[in-house]
Structure 1
Amino acid sequence: MQTGFPGLPSLNALRVFEVVARHLNFRIAAEELGVTQAAVAQQIRGLEASLEIRLFERLPRGLGLTDAGRSYSESVRRALTIIDEATRRLRPESSQLTVSVTPTFASKWLIPRLGDFAQSSPQIDLRLLATERISHFQTDGVDIAVRYGQPPFAAGLNAELLMEQHIVAVASPRLLKDKGHPNSFEALQGFVALHDAHNFWPEFTAMVFHDHPLPSARNLHFNQTSLAIEAAIGGQGITLATYAFVKDDIAAGRLVQVFAQRLCLDKAFYLVWPRKASQAAHLGVVKEWLKRQAINSKSTG
């Protein structure tokens, strides 16, 4: 006696089909799934071959669903929703939640505040993934990320402003005591300009000293903002950094703000998470805590 569902395509292929049918775009579907565009196209070709029917029309500017594909996508979406809901009810919610941030954001802003989170939300096992590359939510097991830029981000992602970007120039108080304050563009030439990967110096210098976009004849470059900040604390020169990243060092006397001006940028730090997020309850707790910390940081800055 035959059992099971011998004619059922693989669940992975059906999941890929549902995402492609929703976006009608292989590239956007690949971004949501965290795989390559070629892998998505291969899954769709294999599904159409196994069903022996065309699900999509290849149009000059994208994809279109055939009549059969449109009807099938509605049924597949309902079926996957039922499976997802049944699985969520069956499996208890994990206590672990992963946050992806850059190394500088981790060391200069998030890590000093984690003690407060551990005390206020002991039921959540927070995992921190610090990396310069953009993490993929599914393949890297990331639940929420802090990303620098401007929305919209990739399709299938929610985004909410966490922290605006205000750039200040900072240096060691000992350095300014030894060399004097750079009150003029000529005086600034006596300092080493410490750069990170963003290179805000031309824009900042043009703002402070009009028509002078070059900060200094002497420059030192770092691939991470946190390294440039540490070099400034060590008295090696003047660096530019997000005020939120150096606020604690300024308060502790390790750094001083060299100029009163702040460079305000269009790009900012955003909380980004999948629209179909798991661990909704824990995710909400972490989001609200991060936003509360950002507000407290701003109010004391």
Structure 2
Amino acid sequence: MFQQLPSLNAIKAFESAARLNSFKDAANELNVTPTAISHQIRALEDSLTVRLFERKTRAVTLTIEGELLAESANQSLQNLLSTVNQLKGSPRTLTISTTSSFAAMWLVPNLADFQQQHPDIDIQIRAEEALIDIEHDRRVDMAIRYGEPPKQPETKTLIYQPLIQESIGFFATPDYWKKYSENPSEVVLFCTQWKNPNLPNLGIEEAIKSIVVGSQTNIRYFNDENLTAQAALSGQGIALISQLAAANSVKNTWLIQGTEEMAIPLSGLHYYLVIPKRLQTNQAAIRFKKWLQSRLAKNQPMV
């Protein structure tokens, strides 16, 4: 029945090269030489009597036939791996990509709750600002991103799941709020300048002028929300940070939020989850998504 199928090693070599668009990167992933990858793919092409790649000087691209086989090979190998892990009773691993501020200020402090509920699922976190192409980079399983979710609900290979809409609040230590109440004219505020140029202008300066009235405000900027929060935690001033990011510090009374009037809604900005369709039936991914939605609902900020 399966006598006409190519070898599994050839399929693995082809799938990796197709996903990464590189024989060299595929070799690194599979811990073999680029020559071995090239030989495997050439043998596969010979056995199928079709060309799977267009080979150029410094790059390779899939042919139409290659694209067809790549999609089937990826899904088949994913299903096979899931079944093998299930039979072996191996811990299931999910690698999550997200921003360093969300990882440090919310995900890591809350992750113990997930691990307690699902001790058989190992969560690896990649904190990074660059957007990862999780359609092709199999080193990442899911991504938590911030901004405006794509207007189309999903693509051919990706699913976008809105998680929570954000708002910014004014946060400071109890001692600094006391200092501010005694001498509001010398307030220091810390803000974050987004690294992502595609995020809209939030009008932070205008909001500060409308909320903190009658004082000579000294505004200082960081390019990472985690650093902005640390400045407030060290008692240097008032930080304008997301209520979600501040939730753990508020819970431990390290920071206190200003009054309800001192809140800036961020209309249209969300945290959202990006899931490759290859994982939409993966039980570990489903459980992590459900936990994430439930846990974030408990931290729903006022908007």
* 1:263 corresponds to 2:265: yes
The residue identity in structure 2 corresponding to 1:271 is L
Partner of 2:117: 120
Partner of 1:161: 162
Q: CA deviation at 1:5?
A: 8.3
- Conservation of the 8 A alpha-carbon contact between 2:192 and 2:222: yes
- Conservation of the 8 A alpha-carbon contact between 1:94 and 1:279: no
Partner of 1:28: none
CA distance in structure 2 between the partners assigned to 1:140 and 1:87 by the alignment:
13
* 1:294 corresponds to 2:296: yes
- Say if 1:82 and 1:141 are closer, same or farther in 2 by CA, change over 3 A: closer
CA distance in structure 1 between the partners assigned to 2:143 and 2:221 by the alignment:
27
The residue identity in structure 1 corresponding to 2:159 is N
Q: CA deviation at 1:257?
A: 2.2
* 1:151 corresponds to 2:153: no
The residue identity in structure 2 corresponding to 1:283 is A
Residue by residue over 1:44-73, the C-alpha shift from the partner in whole angstroms, topping out at 9 and shown as x without a partner, is xx99x98688999xxxxxxxx9xxx58x86
- Conservation of the 8 A alpha-carbon contact between 1:201 and 1:240: no
- Conservation of the 8 A alpha-carbon contact between 1:97 and 1:126: yes
**Could you tell which deviates more after superposition, 95-104 or 193-202?**
193-202
CA distance in structure 2 between the partners assigned to 1:149 and 1:285 by the alignment:
24
Can you give the 5+ residue segments of structure 2 that lack an aligned partner in the other structure?
26-40, 55-62
CA distance in structure 2 between the partners assigned to 1:145 and 1:181 by the alignment:
44
* 1:106 corresponds to 2:107: no
The residue identity in structure 1 corresponding to 2:222 is F
CA distance in structure 2 between the partners assigned to 1:174 and 1:83 by the alignment:
57
Residue by residue over 1:25-61, the C-alpha shift from the partner in whole angstroms, topping out at 9 and shown as x without a partner, is xxxxxxxx4558xx9xxxxxx99x98688999xxxxx
Q: CA deviation at 1:110?
A: 1.5
CA distance in structure 2 between the partners assigned to 1:292 and 1:282 by the alignment:
15
Q: CA deviation at 1:155?
A: 6.0
Can you give the 5+ residue segments of structure 1 that lack an aligned partner in the other structure?
20-32, 40-45, 57-64
Aligned-residue CA RMSD in angstroms?
4.7
Residue by residue over 1:138-187, the C-alpha shift from the partner in whole angstroms, topping out at 9 and shown as x without a partner, is 5361211211122228762211111211111112221232232787xxx4
The residue identity in structure 1 corresponding to 2:141 is D
Partner of 1:282: 284
Counting matched residue pairs gives 265
CA distance in structure 1 between the partners assigned to 2:118 and 2:300 by the alignment:
22
Q: Secondary structure at the match of 1:122?
A: coil
- Conservation of the 8 A alpha-carbon contact between 1:34 and 1:136: no
CA distance in structure 1 between the partners assigned to 2:302 and 2:269 by the alignment:
22
Q: CA deviation at 1:295?
A: 1.0
Partner of 1:235: 235
- Conservation of the 8 A alpha-carbon contact between 2:190 and 2:228: yes
